[in-house]
């Protein structure tokens, strides 16, 4: 399947009505003033109009997959399993995601997610095991076992995962449904297997207007039941954007003893119902970040940045 | 695998199977799913198997259709939005079936049960797409309704079997618990079954409800709108007109006899407040009236008791109004609300023409209850297949009898293209009459669905033995929930008791709970006779009952207002 055809179909899909529900306007930034930026966001100082509220810190672990012919990355896509760990009390969550790269400034990214994996089972020789336990084995080895490539349970888990992917490609799993929609056949994904491991500490913040003391903006037209709890509790706060501050380490998993690639990134998402107005606020925040923290916009996802640095 | 992963190696397949099995039985505090299939495996699922093994391609094609957002149409009709819970439910079923494929399981009852459930979800989802496309009743549909109504007189005559022909064991044989029928727990009063169902679905009806107006689909013929509970989670339909009392009684009687229903409630004068906020473009009672008039051609004015701006005094009396001080509101002389709980995802019909469903005793027997309450509107669109979330991502499907309000006395005017329900004087004292060797039901219905056409004497006998368990206490409790004016309520009690007695008599069932009734009852109020010889003789308190209990002018003639 040629690259141009895929890109063409992909663009058509992005503009179709039913794709719009899975697309979000995002912008990513890097800066040399990382600690200052992090302190600013954590302190909830805000700009002259926008306020920050840091609401959650958690870690997540990613296992990125790619085919032998790199068809996903060449078409601006990434496919990953993600495990999120919150705290010692909350159970981790697992998801399987297909994402697109931004191909221009201020563009939208596709994100399709199979958000619950708990009921997917794989069969080893004799018994059924959950895919989440397989992922746990893989992540545990990648994180704690420097000789993972010779570890039997790592290799057997990887083998099970690979066979699950091959078996499930035509099943109703959302990233696979999306890939089939993009006319990616399983034969195009010859040799699809995990290639990259990423571990990220994420700090997530709401960005909002305080309508009680700043310029009045029409309240975000989201049903109150769908709003984050922070906004349900205070009806004068108007949710405009969402941000993530990520500190990540990426590593190839096709060889041991490789150096970690460290990446830090600040990402902003448009959450306002009127996307044009939300974009204006993103522009305002962007100018503020440039002026105060010398931020630069980046288009490449952390995944692509890591791959580029590995070359 | 190492010790860490060994901890996580759980035979979840076994757990899944146990969950399915457990759901076939009553789990404490929950209604069981029951079984869809008893003995026979329906031919409609043959295509899912090749040489008795799972056909993976067919399975995935069906599951993909039900979950893939890129599949947007069916037979050129837009498909309904796929709710997350519905997709999750389908994926659970698919996953179980795929595991059977891997294990090379031969077609057995358990696997057939799962596949049949998937098949029903698929058919009902498609049915919803088709029915959504045609909201207006076509001329052909109207003619069909007329034909069925006229045919009812002949269709519901049943030859009384002789003693030699009649097999009592067969007649009282209880069907297996299924998504369409749940035998009542004998420890629970029959009138409480409705509330029990509502509790499982987390329906939160309260006194002095405050609802927010929301953009409305404006479908059906009875004026209704969508509204949001102030808890911001639960949705409601808010309706007015002739069905709001009868729907209460009809749904609770069906629930008492083991069927799943929608959950309607009634509110009297100023007991419910509808608030208008900035989220929509209907911002006042005038906007509401204009919208209802424009779509339903009904003037809502006689149903409105109060309107204005929410004041601090109002909020002091009803704390739920506190966040809405300064907002426009309207209150009503009376109105009905029907729950749309988040736990229940509604699909299309429950497929009464499906070969298995058309011959289910529990659906065949339901015909008797339609006749008992005098329900006319039995069309397929008033049946519903739903998925109910039980918590912890467990689901069961449920067949629901929906929209039971066109009952308790129905008048039809074909020339004027109008009909009216809740007409007390139109409800006959007897639901069934004996004529020679036959019993004849007096009620007429507008759709003789295959499940009803296939009802035999024994199926109706079975349901009659259930109806016999409704005693005076339960019947009164059910009628009381409709909050009818006292004379009307009393008259309905006597009529329903009489109709019940006529059914038991016709089927020669000894009444275990005889209910005294008077078909010549007369009732006076403040020295004025309002019911005479079993008939309501005045247009009772029209100001408080703008839909009228006696005028035959229905929704298409503005209730005569």
Is-contact A131 B5, C-beta < 8 A?
A: no
| Least trusted range by pLDDT, from A58-72, B6-20, B200-214, B535-549 | B6-20
Q: How far is B362 from chain A (nearest CA, A)?
A: 33
Q: How far is A133 from chain B (nearest CA, A)?
A: 5
Nearest Cα neighbor of A209 from A184, A238, A229, A185 is A238
Where chain A has pLDDT below 70, the residues are: 1-22, 105-107, 213-215, 224
Q: Do B60 and A172 touch (CB under 8 A)?
A: yes
What the block records as the tokens of B403 is 């929209």
ipTM of this predicted complex?
0.86
Is-contact A146 A257, C-beta < 8 A?
A: yes
Distance CA B286, CA A35 (A): 57
Residue B352's SS3 state is coil
Distance CA B259, CA B246 (A): 17
Chain B residues near residue A123 by CB distance under 8 angstroms: 99, 102-103
Name the residue of chain B whose CA is nearest to A221's CA.
B279
Residue among B9, B69, B95 whose CB faces A129 most closely: B9
H-only helix segments in B318-383: 361-373
Q: Do A221 and B4 touch (CB under 8 A)?
A: no
pLDDT of residue A107: 64
Q: Which residue has the higher pLDDT, B267 or A9?
A: B267
Chain A residues near residue B57 by CB distance under 8 angstroms: 170
Distance CA A242, CA A220 (A): 13
Average pLDDT of the residues of chain B: 92
Whether A169 and chain B come into contact, CB under 8 Å, resolves to no
CA terminus-to-terminus distance, chain A = 24
Q: How far is B1 from chain A (nearest CA, A)?
A: 5
Distance CA B97, CA B118 (A): 10
pLDDT of residue A215: 60
Q: Which residues contact B187 (CB under 8 A, 6 or more apart)?
A: none
Distance CA A108, CA A103 (A): 8
What the block records as the tokens of B389 is 């979330």
pLDDT of residue B2: 40
DSSP count for chain A of H helices, then E strands: 10, 11
Q: How confident is the model at residue B484 (pLDDT cuts 50, 70, 90)?
A: very high
Q: How far is B56 from chain A (nearest CA, A)?
A: 9
Q: What percent of chain B has pLDDT over 70?
A: 95
Q: What are phi and psi of A275, to 5 degrees?
A: -60, -30
Size (chain B), residues:
561
Name the residue of chain B whose CA is nearest to A153's CA.
B1
Is-contact B34 B24, C-beta < 8 A?
A: yes
Residue B542's SS3 state is coil
Residue among A116, A120, A137 whose CB faces B88 most closely: A116
Residue among B4, B9, B94 whose CB faces A127 most closely: B9
Chain B residues near residue A113 by CB distance under 8 angstroms: none
Nearest Cα neighbor of B379 from B349, B356, B341, B358 is B349
Nearest Cα neighbor of A264 from A276, A249, A286 is A249
Is-contact B233 B239, C-beta < 8 A?
A: no
Q: What angle do CA B516, B518, B522 make, to 5 degrees?
A: 140
Q: Is A221 exposed, middle or buried (0-12, 13-18, 19+ CB in 10 A)?
A: exposed
Q: Do A121 and B13 touch (CB under 8 A)?
A: yes
Indicate the DSSP class of residue B433. E
Residue B362's SS3 state is helix
Whether A143 and chain B come into contact, CB under 8 Å, resolves to no
Name the residue of chain B whose CA is nearest to A174's CA.
B68
pLDDT of residue B221: 87
Asked if residue B18 has pLDDT above 50, the reply is no
Q: What angle do CA B464, B465, B469 make, to 5 degrees?
A: 105
Indicate the DSSP class of residue A230. H
Q: Which residues contact B415 (CB under 8 A, 6 or more apart)?
A: none
Is-contact B90 B66, C-beta < 8 A?
A: yes
Q: Do B94 and A133 touch (CB under 8 A)?
A: no
Instruction: List, for residues B287-307, the tens digit of each pLDDT value.
Output: 999 999 999 999 999 999 999
Q: Which residues contact A197 (CB under 8 A, 6 or more apart)?
A: A61, A62, A63, A64, A139, A142, A250, A251, A252, A253
Q: How far is B167 from chain A (nearest CA, A)?
A: 47
DSSP count for chain B of H helices, then E strands: 16, 24
pLDDT of residue B314: 95
Is-contact A173 A200, C-beta < 8 A?
A: no
pLDDT of residue B551: 93
Distance CA B322, CA B310 (A): 9
What the block records as the tokens of B40 is 């026979």
B71-79: average pLDDT: 96
Q: Which of B70, B89, B125, B395 to mutate to test the interface with A (most CBs of A within 10 A)?
A: B70
Which 140-159 residues of chain B touch chain A by CB within 8 A?
none
Distance CA B2, CA A154 (A): 9
Q: Which of B69, B78, B125 to mutate to test the interface with A (most CBs of A within 10 A)?
A: B69
CA B85 to chain centre: 21
């Amino acid at each position: 399947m040629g690259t141009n055809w895929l890109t063409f179909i992909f663009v058509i899909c992005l503009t179709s009505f039913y794709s719009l529900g899975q697309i979000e306007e995002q912008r990513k930034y890097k800066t040399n003033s990382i600690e200052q930026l992090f302190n600013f966001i954590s302190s909830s100082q805000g700009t002259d109009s926008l306020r920050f509220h840091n609401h959650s810190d958690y870690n997540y672990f990613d296992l990125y997959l790619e085919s032998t012919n790199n068809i996903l990355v060449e078409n601006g896509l990434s496919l990953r399993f993600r495990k999120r760990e919150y705290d010692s009390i909350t159970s981790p969550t697992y998801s399987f995601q297909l994402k697109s790269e931004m191909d221009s400034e201020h563009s939208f990214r596709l994100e399709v997610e199979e958000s619950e994996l708990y009921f997917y089972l794989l069969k080893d020789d004799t018994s059924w095991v959950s895919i989440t336990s397989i992922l746990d084995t893989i992540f545990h080895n990648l994180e704690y076992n420097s000789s993972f490539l010779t570890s039997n349970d790592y290799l057997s888990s990887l083998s099970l995962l690979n066979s699950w992917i091959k078996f499930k490609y035509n099943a109703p799993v959302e990233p696979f449904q999306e890939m089939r929609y993009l006319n990616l056949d399983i034969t195009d994904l010859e040799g699809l297997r995990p290639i990259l491991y990423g571990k990220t500490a994420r700090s997530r913040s709401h960005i909002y207007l305080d309508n009680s003391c700043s310029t009045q903006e029409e309240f975000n037209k989201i049903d109150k039941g769908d709003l984050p709890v922070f906004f349900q509790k205070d009806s004068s706060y108007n949710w405009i954007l969402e941000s993530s501050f990520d500190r990540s380490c990426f590593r190839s998993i096709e060889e041991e003893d490789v150096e970690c690639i460290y990446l830090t990134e600040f990402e902003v998402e448009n959450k306002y119902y009127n996307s044009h107005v939300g974009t204006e606020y993103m522009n305002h925040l962007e100018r503020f970040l440039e002026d105060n923290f010398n931020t630069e916009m980046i288009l490449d996802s952390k995944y692509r940045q890591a791959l580029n640095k590995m070359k | 695998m190492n010790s860490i992963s060994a901890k996580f190696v759980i035979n979840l397949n076994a757990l899944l199977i146990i969950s399915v099995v457990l759901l076939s039985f009553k789990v404490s505090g929950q209604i069981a799913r029951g079984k869809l299939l008893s003995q026979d495996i329906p031919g409609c699922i043959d295509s899912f198997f090749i040489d008795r093994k799972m056909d993976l391609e067919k399975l995935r094609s069906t599951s993909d259709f039900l979950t893939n957002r890129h599949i947007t149409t069916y037979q050129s009709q837009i498909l309904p939005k796929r709710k997350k819970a519905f997709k999750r439910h389908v994926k659970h079923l698919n996953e179980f079936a795929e595991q059977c494929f891997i294990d090379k399981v031969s077609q057995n009852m358990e696997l057939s049960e799962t596949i049949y459930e998937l098949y029903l979800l698929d058919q009902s989802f498609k049915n919803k797409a088709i029915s959504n496309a045609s909201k207006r009743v076509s001329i052909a549909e109207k003619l069909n309704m007329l034909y069925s109504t006229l045919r009812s007189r002949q269709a519901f005559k049943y030859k009384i079997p002789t003693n030699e022909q009649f097999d009592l064991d067969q007649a009282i044989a209880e069907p297996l618990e299924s998504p369409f029928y749940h035998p009542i727990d004998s420890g629970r009063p029959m009138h409480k079954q409705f509330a029990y169902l509502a509790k499982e679905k987390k329906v939160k009806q309260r006194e002095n409800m405050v609802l927010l107006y929301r953009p409305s689909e404006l479908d059906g013929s009875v004026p209704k709108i969508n509204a949001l509970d102030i808890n911001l989670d639960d949705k409601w339909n808010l309706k007015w007109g002739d069905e709001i009392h009868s729907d209460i009684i009809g749904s609770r009687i069906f629930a008492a006899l083991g069927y799943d229903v929608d959950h309607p409630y009634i509110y009297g004068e100023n007991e419910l407040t509808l608030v208008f906020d900035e989220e929509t473009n209907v911002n006042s009672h005038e906007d509401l009236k204009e919208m209802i008039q424009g779509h339903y051609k009904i003037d809502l004015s006689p149903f409105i008791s109060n309107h204005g701006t929410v004041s601090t005094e109002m909020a002091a009396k009803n704390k739920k109004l506190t966040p809405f001080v300064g907002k426009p509101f309207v209150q009503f002389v009376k109105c009905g609300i029907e729950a749309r709980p988040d736990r229940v995802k509604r699909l299309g019909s429950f497929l009464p023409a499906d070969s298995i469903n058309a011959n289910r005793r529990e659906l065949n027997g339901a015909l008797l209850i339609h006749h008992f309450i005098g329900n006319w509107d039995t069309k397929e669109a008033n049946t519903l297949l739903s998925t109910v979330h039980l918590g912890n991502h467990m689901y069961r499907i449920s067949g629901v009898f929906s929209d039971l309000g066109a009952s308790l006395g129905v008048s039809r005017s074909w020339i004027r293209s109008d009909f009216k329900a809740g007409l007390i004087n139109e409800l006959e004292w007897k639901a069934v009459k004996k004529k020679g060797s036959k019993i004849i039901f007096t009620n007429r219905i507008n759709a003789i669905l295959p499940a009803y056409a296939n009802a035999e004497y024994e199926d109706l006998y079975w349901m009659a033995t259930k109806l016999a368990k409704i005693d005076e206490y339960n019947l009164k409790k059910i009628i009381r929930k409709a909050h009818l004016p006292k004379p009307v309520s009393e008259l309905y009690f006597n009529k329903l008791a009489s109709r019940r007695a006529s059914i038991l008599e016709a089927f020669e069932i000894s009444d275990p709970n005889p209910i005294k009734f008077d078909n010549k009852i007369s009732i006076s109020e403040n020295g004025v006779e309002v019911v005479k010889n079993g008939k309501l003789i005045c247009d009772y308190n029209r100001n408080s009952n703008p839909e009228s209990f006696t005028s035959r002018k229905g929704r298409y003639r503005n209730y005569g207002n």
